[in-house]
Amino acid sequence: MTVDSIERLADRCLLPGFVGTEPPEWVLRRAAGGLGGVCLYSRNVVSAQQVAALSVRLHAENPGLVIAIDEEGGDVTRLEAAAGSSYPGNLALGAVDDVELTGAVARSIGAELAGAGIDLDLAPVADVNSNPINPVIGVRAFGAESDLVARHTAAWVQGLQSAGVAACVKHFPGHGDTSLDSHLALPVVDEDPHTGALEPFSAAIAAGVRAVMSAHIVVRSSDEMPGTISSNVMTELLRNELGFRGLAVSDGLEMRAIADGVGIVEGTVLALAAGCDLLCIGGGLAGEDIAIELRDAIVAAVKAGRLSEERLVEAAARVDSLAEWRSQQMVGVRADRAIGLAAARRAVRAEGKVRIDGSPVVVQLRSTPSQAAGVVPWGVAEPLAQLGAHVDAISVDETASVDVISAAAGRSLVLVVRNLHRHPWMAAAVEAALAQRPDAILIEMGLPACRPAAANYVRTYGAARVCGIAAAEVLVER
């Protein structure tokens, strides 16, 4: 095999990102040369119409280019990062526990993605959130029970793919039982994934999922290497044991679980050798230089005998196979955003006296968002105002000192939090406020793993825009 042909195969295995709402020259040139795909982020999105035009331009260079995006619904949205998602995320769907509803939500998301020219959705999350202090999964999971997560993962996959967009379940073999974020460190899982974490992935494979994304976690029962670069995980477990024959996608290789360990370049070679087919890079490093560096590293590994030509051919062929599947989908499903709000309304839970007066003070306690979610608007102040309430909105973080009790004297007080159990300062602030205003309403828009002594309590199971609307409707219901 010539160096040129090896270079083309190596390029076919790369999924870079880029900056801007128009494709740079290098992306168009590399797409025309056979690049595997591109991954879009919120920085690439202005509107669905703009993304559709972007996709048309990219596919004009190469119809087999795989355009991917992280569109989970709920807290992790790229198409609606500016306003918040029109669909609740997995935890809300798990709380309702209606697989037909889950499928309908995913089908509508798929219709929106198909209309925007997206080929591969890096969703759903199939992790079982068995560790409540998990900093990166939480509301992105359907729940903490493997059987519930399995049936909703299968329904989400089938719903999305029925709209003609390929699903990619993540993060194999299960990121739920961790206490670290692999964007920032290398998590270690002591539990054998056979005890439950694999069940949703098995269900997704049985449902015909087209792709599986690796996890940058050490699974001690399988290997001491991170799963993404472990052949025991990506080949023995995923391929040989579970029988998956589709596309294996790496999680972002610049995440510190890989970058701070073996490094991005070596991680690329090791991931490909371990069994990953499409290598994701570009969340942070988004220029042609990194794409060239990784392509050249793959070529050098083949020439040095560290990576077989057969493995490279196999990986590129799986990228081709996914692109071919997508090209055959002529579905024409229509999006139905009403199903998103209906699902959010079914998920919300309220206890106590949660009606407000016409002029509430809404205090939102903010923490730093995860890198997976990024900065997306959330809360109930705006939807309450849209329902006619005269809202005074106060935003508080760990450094702020605001006398909310005085500000809310004689008025309804609404405290809005997200993942209260993970932020001691937030819990202390809520406890102090409730001590003085036991009539205050506490709204948890994250994982409801910790409930202080709040008589009036609302759970939304996620912070999507529609979850905020559903909570606001409960507060003003007559």
Give the separation between CA 242 and CA 198, rounded to whole angstroms: 9
Query: Left if phi > 0, otherwise alpha if psi is -120 to 50, otherwise beta: which for 174?
Result: left
pTM (2 d.p.): 0.96
C-alpha closest to that of 375 among 384, 362, 366, 383: 366
Residue spans per domain, the chain: 3-327, 348-476
Tell me what pLDDT residue 269 has.
97
- Per CATH, the homologous superfamily of domain 348-476 is Flavodoxin domain (3.40.50.360)
Q: What is the DSSP string of 27-44?
A: HHHHHHTT--EEEE-GGG
Long-range pairs, 29-33, Cβ under 8 A, ≥24: 30/288, 30/291, 31/58, 31/61, 31/62, 31/65, 32/61, 32/62, 33/8
pLDDT at 263: 92
The pLDDT value recorded for residue 372 is 82
Residue 226 near residue 217, CB atoms below 8 Å: yes
Residue 380 has a pLDDT of 98
Domain 3-327 has CATH 3.20.20.300: yes
Q: Could you give the CA distance from residue 208 to residue 194 in angstroms, rounded to a whole number?
A: 20
CA 114-119-122 angle, 5° bins:
105
Instruction: Retrieve residue 12's tokens.
Output: 């076919």
Question: Six-digit token pair at 404?
Answer: 């909310």
Q: What phi, psi does 278 have (nearest 5°)?
A: -115, 125
List the catalytic residues.
183, 251
Mean pLDDT by 10 residues, the chain (478 residues): 86 97 97 97 96 98 98 97 97 98 98 97 96 89 97 98 98 88 84 94 98 94 93 98 98 89 94 98 91 97 96 98 95 92 98 96 91 90 96 90 86 96 94 95 96 95 98 89
